[in-house]
C-alpha cells in the first residue's frame, strides 16, 4: 500500500458553504478523490480541484442506492492507490452516518483515516427555525433519533421525554403521531417540521400533533427534521427570525493558501502569530519548534553591564528574546527603563521594536531592510570611541556584526542574555507529515532554525524534501538553506514574518 494514501471521513454539515468547517474546506481543496452522499450540496463539489475524481454514492429512500460494500471497496481501493480521499457525508459523520462500518473496513486493510466533524441538522435545524431545544422551565433535555425504522423504537419511553428531535421521519409522520398519542402525549403538543434546513430551500411548518398531517398534506417531507415538544411554541413567542446567509463561492474569504500544508519552524511558544496568520489565509499549519529559549548559563556578565549601564552610549537589541530577557534582568537588579535615560537604543526589525515599545520605549534607530547586516552601514552617527552594549544569545550569535562595529572604532561589550538550544524531540505531527511527504512549504526565520531542523530530522530518521518548497525570511537564513538543502525557493522581500507570509502567498498564486 502507498504510505501516502489517506481517507478523510468529513462532515459536510447542512450543505451551505457558510456552515462548512475550515478543516473540511481545506481537505476539499486538496482532495484527489471525492466520494460523496446524496444530500451534499452541489456547491461543495466545486471546492475540489478540477482533476479530482468525483464519485456519487448517495443513498436515498425508495431510490437506487450504492451498496455499502461498494462504498467500502472504493474507499480502500483509492487509499491503497496512494490518494487523498475525502468521504463527504451530510451532517456529521458520527450521527447516523454509517461511519463505523467504513472505519472497520479501513482498519482491516491498514488504511489510514481521519474523521472530521460537521454541523448536524439535529441541532442546527431547530436553531435556524428559531426553536431552542432546551429551556429552564419547559425542557431540560432532548432526544435525537431516526424514525427510519419506527418499529424498533421504544415509543413509550420516548413519549415521556420533554423534547424530541426526529431525523429521517418524513414518510413516517402518521406513525410518529399515532405512537406518541397512543402513549400519552397530548394532541395539543406543538410540532415543527423543517425541510432543507440551512439552505435556500428551507421551509418550516408548525402545528400540533392533532393537525400536523392536515397542515402538511400533499407535501414531500424529505429531507426534514421534526421537533416535538413545548419548546416549539417558543418560536412564536420569541418571534424568532433567524437570518441565513448563502455565500457564493466567489464571496468566500480570500484564502490563497487553501489546501497548502505549511510547516513553521520557530522557537517553542513563539510560532502562534505566524500560525494564526497563515491559517487565516487557508493554510493547514503544522508547528515544529526548532529552538528552545532559556536563560544563559550565567547572569554575571549581564548583571555587571546593568550595574554600569550609564557608561554605555548605545544598547543594541536584535531580537524579541534579547528585549525580553534584558528587561527582565534589569528588573531583578531593581532598575527599570528609566535607567536607560542616557543610552540610545538600536533595534533590528519591527517585531523587536514592538517588543521594546511594550517596555515603554521607542528605538533611536532601526536599520533599513530590518536586518542586522545593515546596522553598521546605516548607523546614524560615527562609532569611534562609542561604548556599545550588545545583549545576545549565548552561543551562535552575530560575530560578524561585532567585528564590524569594532572595526569602526566602537567598544562592544557582548553579554549573554539568553540561550537557544536545539530541542531533544521533534513534534510527532511534524515528523509524520514530513516523512509522508504531506508538507508543501517549510518556513525558516533564522539560520539557527535551519541548522536545528536538519539536526532534528536527521536524528529521527530523515525525510525526502525534494518536493517541499523552502521558504526563507532573509539573506542570512537563505545562505544557511543553501548550505543545508542546496536551494532556496522563496525569500521574503521584506525580512519580517509578514514579508515571508506575503512571499509564500505570491508563490502559491503563481
Q: Which residues are catalytic?
A: 37, 59, 168
Per residue in 12-22, is it b (16+ CB within 10 Å) or e — as a string?
Answer: bbbbbbebbbe
Rounded distance between C-alpha atoms, residue 482 and residue 75, angstroms: 41
- Asked whether the beta carbons of 15 and 46 are under 8 A apart, the reply is no
Q: Radius of gyration over alpha carbons of the chain, in Å? A: 31
CA distances from 58 to 37, 380, 408, 465 (A): 4, 70, 75, 39
State the Cα angle at 280 between 370 and 482, rounded to 5°: 45
Q: CA–CA separation, 307 vs 294, rounded Å? A: 22
Residues 41/58, Cβ–Cβ less than 8 Å: no
Query: HEC states along 408-461?
Result: CCCEEEEEEEEEEECCCCCCHHHHHHHHCCCCCEEEECCHHHHHHHHHHHHHCC
| Cβ pair 212, 187 in contact under 8 A | no
Report the alpha-carbon distance of residue 465 to residue 453 in Å, rounded. Answer: 12
The residue to which cell 480570500 is assigned: 254
Pairing label, strands 261-265, 6-11 = unpaired
| 126 contacts 106 by C-beta, under 8 angstroms | no
Please provide the DSSP assignment of 111-123 as one string: --EEEE----HHH
Q: 236, 207 in Cβ contact below 8 A? A: no
Contact call for residues 340 and 361 (beta carbons, < 8 A): yes
Amino acid at each position: 500500500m502507498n504510505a501516502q494514501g489517506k481517507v478523510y471521513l468529513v462532515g459536510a454539515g447542512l450543505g451551505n458553504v457558510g456552515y462548512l468547517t475550515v478543516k473540511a474546506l481545506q481537505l476539499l481543496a486538496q482532495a484527489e478523490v471525492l466520494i460523496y452522499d446524496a444530500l451534499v450540496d452541489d456547491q461543495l463539489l466545486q471546492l475540489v480541484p478540477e482533476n479530482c475524481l468525483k464519485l456519487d454514492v448517495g443513498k436515498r429512500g425508495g431510490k437506487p442506492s450504492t451498496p455499502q460494500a461498494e462504498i467500502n471497496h472504493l474507499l480502500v481501493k483509492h487509499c491503497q492507490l496512494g490518494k487523498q480521499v475525502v468521504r463527504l457525508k451530510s451532517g456529521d459523520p458520527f450521527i447516523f452516518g454509517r461511519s463505523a462500518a467504513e472505519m472497520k473496513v479501513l482498519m482491516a486493510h491498514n488504511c489510514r483515516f481521519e474523521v472530521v466533524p460537521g454541523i448536524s441538522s439535529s441541532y442546527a435545524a431547530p436553531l435556524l427555525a428559531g426553536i431552542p431545544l432546551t429551556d429552564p422551565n419547559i425542557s431540560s433535555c432532548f432526544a435525537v433519533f431516526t424514525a427510519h425504522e419506527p418499529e424498533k423504537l421504544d415509543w413509550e419511553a420516548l413519549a415521556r421525554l420533554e423534547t424530541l428531535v426526529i431525523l429521517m421521519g418524513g414518510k413516517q409522520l402518521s406513525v410518529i403521531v399515532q405512537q406518541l398519542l397512543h402513549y400519552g402525549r397530548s394532541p395539543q403538543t406543538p410540532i415543527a417540521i423543517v425541510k432543507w434546513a440551512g439552505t435556500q430551500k428551507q421551509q418550516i411548518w408548525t402545528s400540533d400533533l392533532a393537525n400536523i398531517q392536515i397542515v402538511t398534506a400533499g407535501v414531500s417531507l424529505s429531507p426534514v427534521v421534526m421537533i416535538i415538544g413545548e419548546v416549539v411554541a417558543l418560536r412564536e413567542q420569541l418571534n424568532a427570525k433567524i437570518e441565513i446567509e448563502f455565500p457564493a463561492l466567489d464571496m468566500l474569504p480570500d484564502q490563497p493558501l487553501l489546501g497548502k500544508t505549511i510547516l513553521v519552524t520557530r522557537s517553542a511558544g513563539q510560532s502562534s502569530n505566524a500560525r494564526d496568520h497563515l491559517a487565516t489565509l487557508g493554510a493547514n499549519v503544522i508547528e515544529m519548534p526548532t529552538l528552545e529559549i532559556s536563560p544563559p548559563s550565567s547572569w554575571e556578565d549581564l548583571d555587571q553591564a546593568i550595574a554600569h549601564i550609564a557608561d554605555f552610549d548605545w544598547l543594541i537589541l536584535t531580537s524579541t528574546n534579547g528585549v525580553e530577557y534584558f528587561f527582565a534582568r534589569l528588573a531583578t537588579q531593581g532598575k527599570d527603563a528609566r535607567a536607560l535615560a542616557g543610552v540610545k537604543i538600536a533595534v533590528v526589525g519591527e517585531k523587536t521594536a514592538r517588543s521594546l515599545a511594550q517596555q515603554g520605549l521607542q528605538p533611536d534607530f532601526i536599520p533599513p531592510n530590518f536586518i542586522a547586516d545593515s546596522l553598521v552601514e546605516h548607523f546614524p552617527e560615527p562609532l569611534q570611541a562609542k561604548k556599545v552594549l550588545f545583549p545576545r544569545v549565548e552561543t551562535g550569535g552575530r560575530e560578524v556584526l561585532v567585528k564590524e562595529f569594532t572595526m569602526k572604532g566602537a567598544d562592544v561589550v557582548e553579554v549573554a542574555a539568553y540561550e537557544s538550544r536545539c530541542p531533544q524531540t521533534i513534534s510527532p505531527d511534524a515528523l509524520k507529515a514530513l516523512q509522508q511527504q504531506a508538507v508543501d512549504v517549510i518556513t525558516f526565520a533564522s539560520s539557527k532554525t535551519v541548522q536545528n531542523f536538519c539536526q532534528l530530522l536527521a536524528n529521527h530518521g530523515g525525510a525526502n524534501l525534494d518536493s517541499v518548497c523552502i521558504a526563507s525570511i532573509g539573506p542570512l537564513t537563505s545562505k544557511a538553506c543553501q548550505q543545508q538543502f542546496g536551494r532556496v525557493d522563496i525569500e521574503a522581500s521584506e525580512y519580517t514574518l509578514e514579508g515571508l507570509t506575503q512571499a509564500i502567498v505570491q508563490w502559491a498564486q503563481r
